[in-house]
Structure 1
Amino acid sequence: MKKICVLGAGSWGSALALSLAKKGYSITMWTLNQEQADKINTTKENINYLPGVLFPNNITLTTNIEDAVVDSKLIVLAVPSQAIRSVCKQIKPFVSKEQVLVDVAKGLEKGTGLRLSEVCKDELPENPYVALSGPSHAEEVAKDIPTTLVVASENLEIAQEVQDIFMSPKLRVYTNPDVVGVELGGALKNIIAFGAGICDGLGYGDNTKAALMTRGIREIARLGIALGADKSTFSGLSGIGDLIVTCTSMHSRNRRAGILIGQGKSLEETLEEVKMVVEGITATEVAHEVAKKMNIDMPITNAIYSVLYENKNANEVVANLMMRSKKHEMEEIVYDKLGF
């Protein structure tokens, strides 16, 4: 069996490991937590993230990152976005240039504003890079509920190879050469999903959420196109597709966290209750800074930033959004010529 390593043993890394294991690959998962590794190896269940889903015998947990990486065909980066650089530094002594990095995290690096492909290129410049994204809850992938994903790479041959590895009767995978768009769609939709949760926590309804999602995808596209993305990517799986699933499902930790904020919980209380990384919180901070530097209008992102980092009242922030200066719906196309 060909070996694939998954760095990270959270819900998404575990779900993808299960999917690959069912295709016959030998999967080595790496975690920092020895207790977690021992428990999963013994019970064959990741009780903290995917309770009730059993791991087959061709998935093994280790805390030795060298053992995980060496001789692996793919290196799946399934750690939180802010840990990508650190993990790449750790594996650098053990990686050969033929090994493909498959990033499944969705975020922007705090402090630099870099996309995760740029972070990987900083640390492992010789390794082929693929971003895997799309509307996909780990809980559903782990239970073989039909799901579609997209893999993005500047190298079509590498993208097709990764497509073949992940493709199954329950997991349909498309390719896309637009790495910038796929990465930004995945990272920025977490901001809008967090906002959708705030609206739910405030007791708003379907009308509000539909407006937020519709204007949110335009806002995502506006920044994405300014950063070099293809506008069509945002109408695809990693754009509107991922936005829909993350804004509407209770599987979404970003939406769940937003609900708690909307109900009046503090950020600290929210993170304590969710007990998982909420990528939308950091993404809001980074996107706010990037948009400000580039003079890109992102009113929803700015509004969520003001709630999270300036202690603004959420109801008042929504009222201010509603009462901004009047606009023509399509004026971005007419005047800014963004084409979306």
Structure 2
Amino acid sequence: MTNPKNITVLGAGAWGTALAVIAKNKNHQVKIWSRSGLTSGDALSLTDVVKDADIILSAISMKGVSEVAKQIQSLSIPKDVIFVTATKGLDPETTRTPSQIWQAMFPLHPVVVLSGPNLSKEIQQGLPSATVVASRSATAAEFVQIIFSSPQFRVYTNLDPLGVELGGTLKNVIAIASGVCDGLNLGTNAKAALVTRGLTEMVRIAVSWGAKAETFYGLSGLGDLLATCNSSLSRNYQVGYQLAQGKTLSEVIADLQGTAEGVNTCKVLMQSAKKQNISMPITEQVYRLLQAEITPRQALEELMLRDIKPEYHD
């Protein structure tokens, strides 16, 4: 049993709250902060909430990461504080991942990525789940592993933070496509093919960015992909499913509870893939669908009519 630690959770949404509960159940002292200024019923400043923290865990949406990181950078944060990022997305201006933003702001601090097949509602219900914590510092990853491991939440370590982070980020685009697949009632065969080829795309772009291919066959890659592509609890899946039902993107987003990071990620990913001349056929069709350039059925036809090729040609 580890000694109680002070954990600050940035982000009072479903994911941040779920992680806070896990830490609280292990008798750690937890403070939750949101950009609205509300924290567990109390209005605490960012200065107050990070004071004496052993771990600062960010579960805020992608659009708020840079701003909040800059605010914390202006504070006096001891060098032994560990930053943990549980955000999934890409910065639209720099294409950087959340951990890259935190590491750039705090180059002397260890940064740990937490990602896996973790649907917040299931975790809040106490259902069994597993995740990965990854860092260039094995010591930091192991410390975070001990903090969050429980009989209901199994935590593994990994030394490929970029791969773990990209697994959780890129799968959101494939989840949108998976929702479309189910929304069109295309069947199990089509969905299996879609998810498998989607994983191939994820590996292709991630390896070109410096991630390890094998990471994508673990919990943060294949595991998260399977969970997100097969659950109506996933906001990204819901985007695709509802688009296939005839709704517009603006209508879908207006009805969502929370942020579907895959919408923004798809745009950033497509821009980067074009610059690097990397083939991303599923991502491209999802992008065109989100831009209302094509219908869900047309996106399917585009994919099915691509030139035939060997499976491992790329």
Q: Which category of TM-score, normalised to the shorter sequence, fits these structures?
A: over 0.9
Deviates more, 1:91-100 or 1:22-31: 91-100
Q: 1:218 aligns with which of 200, 203, 212?
A: 200
Stretches of structure 2 that go unaligned for 5 or more consecutive residues are none
CA distance 1:26–1:62, change in 2 (3 Å): farther
Matched, 1:82 2:76: no
Deviates more, 1:194-203 or 1:300-309: 194-203
Matched, 1:64 2:45: yes
User: Alignment partner of 2:57: what SS?
Assistant: strand
Contact 1:62 1:68 in 2 (8 A): no
In the TM superposition, what whole-angstrom CA distance separates every residue of 1:157-184 from its partner, at most 9, and x where no partner exists? Answer: 1111111111111111111101111111
Indicate the residue corresponding to 1:317 in structure 2: 299
Q: Tell me the distance in 1 between the aligned counterparts of 2:35 and 2:97.
A: 24
Deviates more, 1:12-21 or 1:309-318: 309-318
The residue identity in structure 2 corresponding to 1:79 is: I
Q: Tell me the distance in 2 between the aligned counterparts of 1:318 and 1:63.
A: 49
Q: Tell me the distance in 2 between the aligned counterparts of 1:250 and 1:313.
A: 21
Q: Tell me the distance in 1 between the aligned counterparts of 2:106 and 2:195.
A: 36
Indicate the residue corresponding to 1:23 in structure 2: 26
Q: 2:182 aligns with which of 192, 200, 204?
A: 200
Q: CA RMSD in A?
A: 1.3
Indicate the residue corresponding to 1:283 in structure 2: 265
Identity of aligned residues (%): 40
* Cα displacement (A) at 1:260: 1.1
User: Alignment partner of 2:60: what SS?
Assistant: coil
The residue identity in structure 1 corresponding to 2:126 is: D
* Cα displacement (A) at 1:142: 1.4
Q: Tell me the distance in 2 between the aligned counterparts of 1:251 and 1:275.
A: 10
CA distance 1:263–1:63, change in 2 (3 Å): farther
Contact 1:147 1:172 in 2 (8 A): yes
Indicate the residue corresponding to 2:167 in structure 1: 185
CA distance 1:32–1:83, change in 2 (3 Å): closer
TM-score, length of structure 2 as denominator length:
0.96
User: Alignment partner of 1:328: what SS?
Assistant: coil
User: Alignment partner of 2:30: what SS?
Assistant: strand
Indicate the residue corresponding to 1:58 in structure 2: none
The residue identity in structure 2 corresponding to 1:17 is: A
User: Alignment partner of 1:331: what SS?
Assistant: coil
Contact 1:32 1:63 in 2 (8 A): no
Indicate the residue corresponding to 1:338 in structure 2: none
In the TM superposition, what whole-angstrom CA distance separates every residue of 1:128-183 from its partner, at most 9, and x where no partner exists? Answer: 10000000111111122111100010010111111111111111111110111111
- Runs of 4+ in structure 1 deviating by more than 4 angstroms, as ranges, are none
Indicate the residue corresponding to 1:7 in structure 2: 10
Stretches of structure 1 that go unaligned for 5 or more consecutive residues are 42-60, 333-340
Q: Tell me the distance in 2 between the aligned counterparts of 1:180 and 1:14.
A: 24
Matched pairs, number: 310
Q: Tell me the distance in 2 between the aligned counterparts of 1:216 and 1:62.
A: 43
* Cα displacement (A) at 1:292: 0.8
Contact 1:250 1:256 in 2 (8 A): yes
Matched, 1:169 2:151: yes
CA distance 1:63–1:261, change in 2 (3 Å): farther
* Cα displacement (A) at 1:310: 4.6
* Cα displacement (A) at 1:125: 1.9
The residue identity in structure 1 corresponding to 2:254 is: E
In the TM superposition, what whole-angstrom CA distance separates every residue of 1:74-93 from its partner, at most 9, and x where no partner exists? Answer: 00001012211111011112
Matched, 1:32 2:27: no
Q: Tell me the distance in 1 between the aligned counterparts of 2:288 and 2:108.
A: 40
TM-score, length of structure 1 as denominator length:
0.88
In the TM superposition, what whole-angstrom CA distance separates every residue of 1:191-229 from its partner, at most 9, and x where no partner exists? Answer: 000111112222322222111100000110011111111
User: Alignment partner of 2:279: what SS?
Assistant: coil
Q: Tell me the distance in 1 between the aligned counterparts of 2:298 and 2:121.
A: 35
